[in-house]
């Protein structure tokens, strides 16, 4: 299949492109820079030069493909609303290029976007996301639903915390705070959990969903349903050679600042339906293993 991949130069893209090529697909990767274009060429992909703001260009690239994986996102969280609304427009443009075909369009969301007020237990593929009015990043799944209503074979991949030994997502912020404060904190008993997945398993899941995914499906890239924050904090403390401490809910804002809300929420998520439907069996290292071995640049 000729696959147009946005975000091909990113963390997940750098594993996804080789995964697709190894399976016999032809990859056309979006890049906005010479550096990205060179990396894609080295990986054996074709390059489509462009930017997420160039909707006509994205539409044209999608029209020339047999399938599209959209994994680009601007992660400047100070402008989250703007970038989430940009994502809505991008999905609309990519979807418009595929109307009337059976070509798959995969988009990237997060298990953390499921509306936790409506569930009791780990988030499942059937659970609905929050509204973008409450959290802007939910625009992605709203856009997916709008495109699905036009008959496009759209598939949502919801990611949990994706990791390898160099990337820990939001946990990089925990590392930064621990260094600043001189200790690693968890709240109360630290029983709230974070679901996680190794990036190599994410790449495999995108490929399986591209090849076999059902129109309108939500798939969960979750290898570990929930790693307790206390265990994460203990491993971080060991890796950083810092003490670890339980803090009270009242102290959370002061320690965690803008990620205080995330520090206390339970983000457990299940992938039972995904595994069953796609035969996906994650086998990469666990989150705590990668944290123990995280690069010296981090710790």
Q: Which residues bind ligand NAP (CB under 6 A)?
A: 7, 9-13, 30, 32-33, 36, 51-52, 71-75, 108, 110, 159, 161-162, 169
Closer CB to ligand NAP, 153 or 198, in the complex: 198
Residue number with the shortest CB distance to ligand NAP?
Answer: 10
Minimal distance, residue 55 CB to ligand NAP, in Å: 11
Minimal distance, residue 234 CB to ligand NAP, in Å: 21
Minimal distance, residue 72 CB to ligand NAP, in Å: 3
Minimal distance, residue 150 CB to ligand NAP, in Å: 22
Closer CB to ligand NAP, 111 or 242, in the complex: 111
Closer CB to ligand NAP, 210 or 244, in the complex: 210
Closer CB to ligand NAP, 71 or 210, in the complex: 71
Closer CB to ligand NAP, 11 or 280, in the complex: 11
- Residue 151, Ramachandran bin (φ over 0: left; ψ between -120 and 50: alpha; else beta): left
Minimal distance, residue 56 CB to ligand NAP, in Å: 14
Point out which residues pair with 163 in neighbouring strands.
Answer: 198
Question: With contact defined as beta carbons under 8 Å apart, do 16 and 35 qualify?
Answer: no
Minimal distance, residue 37 CB to ligand NAP, in Å: 10
Closer CB to ligand NAP, 103 or 163, in the complex: 163
């Amino acid at each position: 299949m000729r696959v147009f991949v946005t975000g091909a130069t990113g963390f997940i893209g750098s594993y996804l492109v080789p995964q697709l090529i190894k399976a016999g697909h032809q990859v056309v990767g979006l890049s906005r820079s010479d550096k990205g274009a060179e990396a894609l060429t080295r990986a054996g992909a074709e390059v489509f030069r462009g930017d997420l703001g160039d909707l006509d260009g994205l539409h044209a690239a999608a029209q020339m493909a047999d399938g599209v994986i959209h994994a680009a996102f601007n992660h400047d969280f100070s402008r989250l609303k703007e970038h989430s609304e940009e994502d809505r427009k991008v999905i609309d443009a990519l979807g418009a290029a595929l109307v009337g075909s059976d070509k798959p369009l995969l988009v990237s969301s997060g298990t953390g976007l499921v509306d936790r007020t409506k569930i009791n237990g780990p988030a499942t593929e059937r659970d609905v996301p929050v509204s973008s009015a409450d959290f802007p990043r939910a625009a992605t799944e709203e856009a997916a639903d709008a495109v699905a209503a036009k008959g496009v074979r759209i598939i949502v991949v919801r990611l949990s915390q994706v990791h390898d030994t160099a990337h820990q997502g939001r946990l990089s912020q925990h590392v930064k705070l621990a260094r600043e404060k001189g200790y690693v904190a968890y709240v109360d008993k630290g029983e709230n959990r974070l679901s996680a997945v190794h990036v190599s398993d994410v790449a495999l899941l995108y490929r399986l969903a591209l090849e076999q995914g059902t129109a309108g499906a939500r798939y969960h890239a979750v290898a570990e349903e929930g790693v307790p924050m206390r265990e994460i904090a203990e491993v971080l403390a060991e890796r950083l050679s810092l003490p670890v401490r339980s803090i009270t809910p009242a102290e959370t804002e002061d320690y965690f600042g803008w990620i205080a809300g995330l520090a206390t929420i339970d983000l457990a998520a299940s992938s039972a339906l995904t595994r069953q439907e796609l035969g996906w069996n994650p086998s990469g290292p666990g989150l705590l293993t990668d944290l123990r071995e995280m690069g010296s640049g981090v710790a």
